[in-house]
């Protein structure tokens, strides 16, 4: 079995606290036509430098019924700034157009097979996975972006087309697993594309 959720698989259920003080489950987004779940955090330069590109993509596709949900699964014991209080501060400061959830137990990151921050998962109307991987080809330096894979996948999805590139390798920092050194990844976690 692959570490990362594979194309065609259903979205994994979650029940997590958000920065707005509410609890959200997968069902909280059932009225959204499409769902983008992405693993993110507060400290990673790949996240920080590409957040505005992600914001533009989220805003662009919101009218077509695409909802974005960010999940921070990083251990606060690896990076203090990845704790919940910093998540709340970050949302207050940046007002991102997505719900920001905290996966303190890291169970959801494991269930989805999140490899890096950011790592995107796009689900169709039936909540089946149609795209997984990177947002853009240069998240750390947006001035060098040539391809926005996430936007391309959403453009095809919302136009009723088949996703031409359903899998890419996420680019970013690895998820910070509790009790492990900061560059550790599970043994079966590997690139999605060779």
Task: Report the distance separating Cα 43 and Cα 46, nearest Å.
Answer: 9
Token output for 24: 């959200």
Read off the pLDDT of residues 1-26 as tens digits, 9 standing for 90 and up.
589 999 999 999 999 999 999 999 99
Q: How far apart are CA 8 and CA 105, in angstroms?
A: 26
More confident residue, 186 or 163: 163
Mean pLDDT, the chain, integer: 97
What is the structure's pLDDT at 194? 66
Res 29 pLDDT > 70: yes
Reported as a single tens digit per residue, the pLDDT across 111-151 is 999 999 999 999 999 999 999 999 999 999 999 999 999 99
Do the Cβ atoms of 39 and 69 come closer than 8 Å?
no
Three-class secondary structure of residue 155 per DSSP:
helix
Return the H-helix or E-strand segment holding 39.
Answer: strand 34-40
Q: What is the pLDDT of residues 42-55, one digit of tens each?
A: 999 999 999 999 99
Homologous superfamily of domain range 9-189: Glutaredoxin (3.40.30.10)
The pLDDT, as a whole number, for residue 1 is 58
What is the pLDDT at residue 90? 98
Give the model confidence (pLDDT) of 179-194 as tens digits.
999 999 988 888 898 6
pLDDT of residue 70: 98
Task: Give which of 106, 96, 120, 50 is closest to 74, Cα–Cα.
Answer: 106
- Cα 5 from Cα 3, distance rounded (Å): 7
Q: For Cα atoms 141, 96, 177, give the angle at the middle one, nearest 5 degrees.
A: 70
């Amino acid at each position: 079995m692959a570490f990362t959720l594979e194309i065609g698989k259903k979205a994994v259920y979650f029940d997590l606290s958000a920065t707005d003080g509410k609890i959200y489950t997968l069902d909280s987004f059932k009225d959204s036509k499409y769902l983008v779940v992405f693993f993110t955090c507060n400290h990673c330069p790949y996240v920080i430098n590409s957040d505005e590109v992600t914001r533009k993509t989220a805003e662009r596709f919101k009218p077509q019924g695409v909802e974005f949900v960010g999940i921070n699964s990083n251990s606060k014991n690896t990076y203090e700034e990845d704790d919940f209080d910093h998540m709340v501060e970050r949302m207050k400061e940046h007002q991102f157009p997505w719900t920001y959830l905290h996966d303190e137990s890291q169970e959801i990151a494991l269930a989805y097979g999140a490899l890096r921050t950011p790592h995107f998962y796009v689900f169709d109307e039936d909540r089946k996975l149609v795209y997984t991987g990177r947002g853009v080809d240069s998240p750390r330096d947006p001035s060098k972006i040539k391809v926005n894979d996430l936007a391309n996948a959403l453009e095809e999805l919302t136009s009723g087309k088949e996703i031409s590139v359903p899998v890419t390798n996420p680019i970013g920092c690895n998820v910070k697993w509790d009790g492990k050194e900061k560059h550790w990844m599970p043994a079966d976690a590997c690139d999605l594309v060779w």
